[in-house]
Amino acid sequence: MNFFEALVVGLAEARRHWGQTVLSLLGLILGTGSIVTVLALFGGQTKQTTDFIIEQGGFGAIIVYDREESLQPTPLELASRRLTYRDAAYLKDHATMLKGVAPGYFGRHDYRVGDVDFEGDVIGSTPDYAQINAIFPMAGRYISDLDVRRQARVMVLGWAYADSLFKGRPEQAIGRIVNLGGKNFTVVGVMEREEFYWAPWSGNSLAYRNRRSYIPITTAFSQYTGENDRLDFLTLKAITPTGGPAAEAQVRQMMLMMHGVEDFDIQPLGQRNPDDAQFFMMFNIIFLIVGIVSLFAGGIVIANILLASVVERVREFGTRMALGASAFQVFAQVIAQVTVISVLGGLLGLGLGTALTGAVAYFMQQPAAVTGTMAAVALCTSLGVGAVAGFYPAWRAARLSPVEALRYG
Amino acid sequence: MALLQARGITKVYRLGRVDVPALRGVDLDVEQGEYMAIMGPSGSGKSTLMHILGCLDSATDGSYHLGGTDVGTLRGRALARVRNQKVGFVFQTFNLMPRLTVEENVALPLQYRGGHTRRERRTRARALLDRLGMSHRTGHRPEELSGGERQRVAIARALVGEPAILLVDEPTGNLDSKAGAEVLATFREVHAAGDTIVLVTHDQNVANEADRIVHIADGRVAA
C-alpha cells in the first residue's frame, strides 16, 4: 500500500467531513499552541533565572547564616560560639572545595555628610566578598587586604548611597569623609549600579545592593561590636560553578565539627523572589492545562470522526481486502488518514503557539522564544495524540471480516 | 490436478447456540482455461462457496487447492496474499474506489502486491484498459462512467494481477440488458484469451455463457 495514496484518501476524507475536521483541528491547534507557549515561556524564565544568578555572582556561590535558636536550647547549642570569624579562617585554610571565603558583618548605622542624614545598611567584609558577589567599583577601589589587616576606617559606597550623600554626583565621593554611626570613614570607592529586572513592572531586583556600604570586617568588629568576632553571615564560593552541592557538604561537615551542633543554615545564593516564581508557575500551569484539555478533546473528536468514517467505508475496506490488502495495510491506511489531520493540526498549532508566545513576550516583556526543539515536541505531541485517537478506529477497520464487510450496507 | 480442486468443503455458521450448515460437502474441479457457471437459488450456499473459492473465507472442513497450493489451511495475511496473486474478483456492484481515477483503481491490486514501481503499475493498468476498450477513460473517476464501463474497469482491475482464476459474482445484476450484453461479451473475450472464469449467478441466460454449469442446492452440488 502506497503511503502517499493513503494520505490522499486521508485528505479527501478530511475535506468531506470538514465540520468535524475543523473541530478536531481546533483541539489539536489549541493544544499544541498552548504547549508551545508554555515551553517558550518556561525557556525564557529559565534563561532569566540563569542570568539573575550570574548577575549575582554565578553558580556555586553559597551563604551561611546562624540558624535561629531553639526555644529550649540543648547544652550543645548553648555551648556553641555560633558563626565566628574563626569559622571563616578555618574554612579558608582547610575547605578544599572552596575558592573564596568572605566573613560578613551586617549592621544599620547613621550616615551623615553635611546636611544629608539617614540610617542605612553596612556590610563589613573582605576582598573575597566582591569577587563572590560579582560586584565592581565604578570609581576608586574595593576594600583591600591591607585595609582588613590595619582595621582601616575606609568605606566603599553603594551607588545609591553615594548618589544621595553627594547629591547626584557619586563619582565625587572618593576621598571624602562620611560619618557612619558617629565615626568618620574615608570613602575609597563607589560601586557600580547593580540592576536586574524580571519584568519591567517588577522593579530592580538588585536595588538592595546599591543601598549599602562596605567596610573592612576587622574595622566593623573594632568600631561596632566591641571586639566580638561573631559573624552575621558567611559568603562562600565553590571552586567550580557546578561544585556548589559538594562544597556545601564539605562546609556542613567542617562547621558541624567546630560547632558540635548544626546551628547554621547553608543555602545557594541567587534564588528568585518566591512570589514572582509562583506567579509564573501559575501562568505556566494554566497554559499547560488548557493544552492538555484541548489535546484530549481534540483526540476524542478525531477518534469519533474516524470511527464514523470507518463505518461508512466498511464496504470499501472489504473490497480492498478482496483485492489483497492485508489487515495491516488497512490499519495503515486509517492511521495515514489521522496523520494528515495530526500534521496539519501540529503545524497550525505551532503557528498559533509562536504568535501567542510573541504576544505574551511583548505584553509581559518576558524573554521567550520558540526553538527547534519546542517545535519538534509540539509536532510529536500532535502526532502522538492522533496516533492514540486513530488506533481504535484503525484496529476496528483492520479486524473486519472481508465477507461481512463486502455484504455490508 | 485441476487448477481449482475442492474436496468435501463444508461450512457451518454458528448463530447463537445453533449450528447452521451452509455447505455440506462440496466437491468441485475447475480446469485451466475453463469457463464455469455456478447456479443456485438464494440460500443455496453459492455465495458461501464463492467466498471460500475466493479465499475471502475459510471452510469449516474439507480441502481446497488453488493452482497447486493447499490454500484451505491458510489464514490472515497468507490468505490476503493468495487473494492478491491468484484471484481476481468482479462484483455485482463494481466496488470501485470513488476517489481514485480509473487507472488508479485498476492498478490497486499491484499496489497491495508491492514490488512494482509506479510506472510499471501504470503501464500494466493502461495495457489492460486498452485491451478492454477503456483507454479513453483512464483519468476519469468512476462516477463519470456508465454502469457497463464501470464493470469493465472492474474486470480490468481483476485481471491486472494475472490471477489464476477470475471469480465473478452476478456481473450483470446492476446493469441494463444492453450494458449486460456488452459485459458478457467482454468475459467471452477474456475467456478466449485463455483466462479461467468462475461465474456465480441465478440468471440462466448469464449462466448459458459458460462451458459448464454447476447447480448448487441445499449446500451440495446437485446432480
Residue pLDDT, tens place only, B35-93: 999 998 888 888 899 999 999 988 999 999 998 889 988 888 888 999 999 999 999 99
Within this chain, do residues A42 and A104 fall inside the same structural domain, yes or no?
A: no
Question: Does position B34 have pLDDT exceeding 60, yes or no?
Answer: yes
| Pure H helices in B8-75 | 46-53
Which residues does chain B have within 8 Å of residue A327's beta carbon, measured at their own beta carbons?
76-77, 80
pLDDT of residue A311: 86
A27 with A85, same domain? no
Helices (H), B132-220: 147-159, 177-192, 204-207
Residue A226 has pLDDT above 80, yes or no: no
Q: Is the pLDDT of residue A232 over 80?
A: yes
User: Cβ contact (<8 Å) for A401 and B108?
Assistant: no
Test mutation, B95, B120, B200, chain A, max A CBs within 10 A: B95
What is the overall mean pLDDT for chain B?
91
Pick B112's closest partner by Cβ from A8, A324, A406: A324
What local confidence, expressed as pLDDT, does residue A13 receive? Answer: 67
Question: Residue A346: CB partners within 8 Å, gap ≥ 6?
Answer: A28, A32, A378, A379, A381, A382, A383
B45 touches A at CB < 8 Å = no
Query: pLDDT at residue A199 above 90?
Result: no
Residues A36 and A76 in one domain: no
Together in a domain, A103 and A162: yes
Percent of chain B with pLDDT over 70: 100
Chain A contact for B54, CB < 8 A?
yes
Which pLDDT score, from 0 to 100, does residue A293 have? Answer: 83
pLDDT at A36 over 90: no
Nearest by CB: A324 against B80, B97, B118: B80
User: Closest approach of chain B CAs to the CA of A18, in angstroms?
Assistant: 16
**Residue A71 or residue A177, greater confidence:** A177
CATH topology of domain B33-57+74-221: Rossmann fold (3.40.50)
pLDDT in tens, B140-194: 999 999 999 999 999 999 999 999 999 999 999 889 999 999 999 999 999 999 9
Q: Are residues A242 and A379 in the same domain?
A: no
Q: In this structure, is the dihedral angle defined by the CA atoms of residues A159, A161, A163 and A166, taken in order, positive or negative?
A: negative
Are A198 and A288 contained in the same domain?
A: no
Higher pLDDT, A364 or A192: A192
A408 contacts chain B (CB < 8 A): no
Q: Which amino acid is at A14?
A: A
CA distance B148 to A370: 58
Max distance between CA atoms of chain B, in angstroms, equals: 54
CB-based contact (8 Å) between A404 and chain B?
no
- ipTM score of the complex? 0.93
Report yes or no: B101 at the A interface, CB cutoff 8 Å.
no
Task: Say whether residue B104 is in contact with chain A using an 8 A CB cutoff.
Answer: yes
Q: What is the pLDDT of residue A19?
A: 73
Q: Which of A226, A254, A269 is the last residue of a domain?
A: A269
Average pLDDT of chain A? Answer: 84
pLDDT tens-digit series, residues A287-324? 778 778 878 887 888 888 788 888 888 999 999 999 99
Query: What are phi and psi for residue A357, nearest 5 degrees?
Result: -60, -45
pLDDT tens-digit series, residues B81-127: 999 999 999 999 999 988 889 999 999 999 888 888 889 999 999 99
Cα A185 to the center of its chain, rounded Å: 40
Q: How far apart are CA A140 and CA A156, in angstroms?
A: 9
A264 and A311 in a common domain: no
Q: Of A269, A294, A309, which marks where a domain is finished? A: A269
Q: Is A323 on the interface with B (CB under 8 A)?
A: yes
Q: What is the pLDDT of residue A227?
A: 62
Query: Which residue, of A269, A304, A328, is where some domain finishes?
Result: A269
Q: In terms of CA atoms, which chain B residue is nearest residue A8?
A: B99
**Which whole number is the average pLDDT over A28-44?**
82
Q: Specify the pLDDT at position B123.
A: 93
Q: What is the pLDDT of residue A3?
A: 65
Q: Does the pLDDT value for residue A272 go beyond 60?
A: no
> Count of domains in chain A?
2
Residues A133 and A32 placed together within one structural domain of the fold: no
- Domain carrying residue A84: 61-269
Distance from CA of A19 to the nearest CA of B (A): 20
The reply to whether A96 and A189 lie within a common domain is yes
Task: Look at A321 and B80 and tell me if their CB atoms are within 8 Å.
Answer: yes
Task: State whether A164 and A233 are in the same domain.
Answer: yes
Instruction: Specify whether A248 is located in the same domain as A332.
Output: no
